[in-house]
Chain A
């Protein structure tokens, strides 16, 4: 049975002094997939700005805008209404040998390479000792929460996997990067997924404070999503927005500005199950 979720994602920046110009790209629009249908989406910018949309290389809907009147704050409100289902999974019985195929390694090269953020780390376990790649995913999904403590503030937006790994602490971005690093090292293609997580009771009409979230999709015959931060399966409570090699490809809001000094960011995500 499909869920219908309403998401409001507000981001506000406060600047200490006037900002003369600001250019931004938001990746906050849920995508249509076989398991997810976007009923409506709207992005508003204050101070008012015209929003230009395009689909990027990874298939993500990007909203680009610039603000060129002097301003001391910037507010972005993204509202979506999405129907979600438990993802249908294809066959997941690729063997370790299958993953060695030249065709696969060539086609999925981008999801097998390290990046600045998905850099090498040394886990105390060897994924390849698992019988199958699927077993390796189940193992990793459990192991990550034993290795890393969820601790907001311990890392920042530019932290690579290795930093969270050394600190043994981080947020979902770090759980995701570290998982990708271990998977790619083991030869399992894996990509970064950005989206939202509903963590309420499931009661219709109840608004809950949720979060901008990230998880992993690994290729083990087909793409298999899993959520190493929580260890829960990816189901109707996960709303998919963007996929990429790492956080840089999917960051919900990225921009540059000139003028103003320091700033405060406030981000709130609220989700309501409508049906």
Chain B
């Protein structure tokens, strides 16, 4: 068994780091009975605001811990630079993979790795976004290892969720524990919706000055529906489902009470597989038939891009440092977590031998599902996973177990205990600049010792304070503003049954002719 000691974000040998001295003295003044009361206030506030996350089918408030995480200026600058670098390289990678494929000729990444990725979509080949952006929004998961080094754990380039909690956590904290803010100058996170909208506007074809932007959601049953609605409301744009949109002559329209409106940009929060039944699942009713060819002819922009998943496939992850060198001629600013490529026979042998000390992850998994943590697994589980990875090396990666850093957290009985955390900062690319939201989602494992922190695994979150460098970028106290700043919408999206132009596509059927088989009904 590997011995390791996690770093703590606040304490060294029980003493607060300089960065948190003031905060720590405030925190330790609060009695456990007070913490319990504050937690109740928090839950009430969250419930009133309707901030929920669906876990295993049950809606519940996303628990925000009342102790923030603090990121100092120098560390933030380092992270910001590293994230920008990474996104820049991954944008070039996607452009290459869905275009010229120069990287295969130059032997940077094995072609077989890309063409066997379930997220490599051949139908995205040749789609050239108007402003060149495919990764409009990304969430790069960062962990601190036992040496204190920040590392990228994984990239999320499809529909990373959680940013709404970043904004809501700040407001919740201001309501429940305003006294903690006193000694710190914290950068504001409220700019996010504006920045996102600006990036979506910049993505519009034909450089329109007032393009029609919509947020496409799979519907109220999706676990992130709260966020879809939140972002649409805060950007002042329509929240739509697939049936509210239709494609005609390679253009996308939205049905409204005032007739049909042309749509220029779709910020979609549905997976590629459901986006267009012509190219993907023919029985999908969540998407819009024809939308991929509309994007191909640059009549509509789709954010994030189709097929981005090939860049956040965990099997590609070990190659990202190499991609940064290849496309940018730079050394990676934030290192990866060491990763074993199981497709190499010697490496596989090593991993099988040391499996009880390693973490094994499915390349297609997300949300922490399917991960086996060697030291915590039973012998039977390890044998099972060893069998799986040897029969299908392409679908798995292995990594050394990282002792994620910890942070003091208020636990159920009102005491402060240390819990493992990770960090997901969000970046927005408008084609001219990659902007990293100064803050992010710090996820915390609420079970003692647990190192899987995903909210889909019952984790909580922390407000993340990025400290301000100078007075100019300070908004030391979060603004508490009213939801209703956005103008009441001048129209409503109507259900498709009264759509003026075409009948709803309720049930799609496939038609295909067999080769050399004429006159046969293939139904």
| A positions within 8 Å CB-CB of B | 11, 13, 20-25, 50, 52, 54-58, 64, 66, 68, 70, 105-107, 109-110, 113, 152-153, 155-158, 171-173, 194, 211-214, 229, 247, 249, 251-259, 262-268
Contact = CB atoms under 8 A, between A and B. Distances in A.
| Chain B interface category by residue count | 35 or more
A-B pairs, top 3 by smallest CB distance, nearest first, are A20-B503, A109-B112, A157-B514
A214 B513 contact: no
27 contacts: A20-B502, A21-B289, A21-B502, A56-B122, A57-B122, A57-B126, A64-B290, A64-B293, A109-B115, A152-B517, A153-B517, A157-B517, A171-B516, A173-B514, A173-B517, A211-B516, A212-B515, A214-B516, A254-B510, A256-B278, A256-B289, A256-B508, A263-B511, A264-B521, A265-B511, A265-B522, A268-B518
A33 to B, nearest CB: 20
A156 B514 contact: yes
B18 interface: no
Contact of B515 (A21, A64, A173, A255): A173
Given A152-B516, A173-B516, A253-B513, 9 more contacts: A22-B511, A64-B290, A66-B289, A153-B520, A173-B514, A212-B516, A259-B503, A264-B521, A268-B518
A263 B503 contact: no
B523 interface: yes
Contacts of A212: 513, 515-516
Contacts of B509: 256-258
Contact of A25 (B278, B297, B504, B518): B278
B223 to A, nearest CB: 28
B513 A251 contact: yes
B512 to A, nearest CB: 5
B250 A52 contact: yes
Given A253-B512, A257-B511, A263-B511, A107 B517 contact: no
Contacts of A264: 521
Contacts of A50: 249-250
Contacts of A106: 110-112
B395 to A, nearest CB: 14
Contacts of B408: none
B523 A263 contact: yes
Contacts of B504: 258
A255 B122 contact: no
A212 B513 CA distance: 10
A52 B247 CA distance: 13
Interface of B: 104, 110-112, 115-116, 122-123, 125-126, 246-250, 277-278, 282, 289-290, 293, 296-297, 501-523
A172 B515 CA distance: 7
Contacts of B110: 106
A105 to B, nearest CB: 7
B278 A171 contact: no
A265 B126 contact: no
B513 A267 contact: yes
A254 B512 CA distance: 5
Interface centre among B247, B510, B518, by most A CB within 10 Å? B518
A23 B278 contact: yes
A144 B123 CA distance: 33
A250 to B, nearest CB: 9
A54 B518 contact: no
A177 to B, nearest CB: 10
A173 to B, nearest CB: 5
Contacts of A22: 511
B513 A11 contact: yes
Contacts of B111: 106-107, 109
A229 B517 CA distance: 13
Contact of B290 (A23, A57, A265): A23
Contacts of B289: 21, 23, 66, 256
Nearest to B125: A57
A155 B282 CA distance: 21
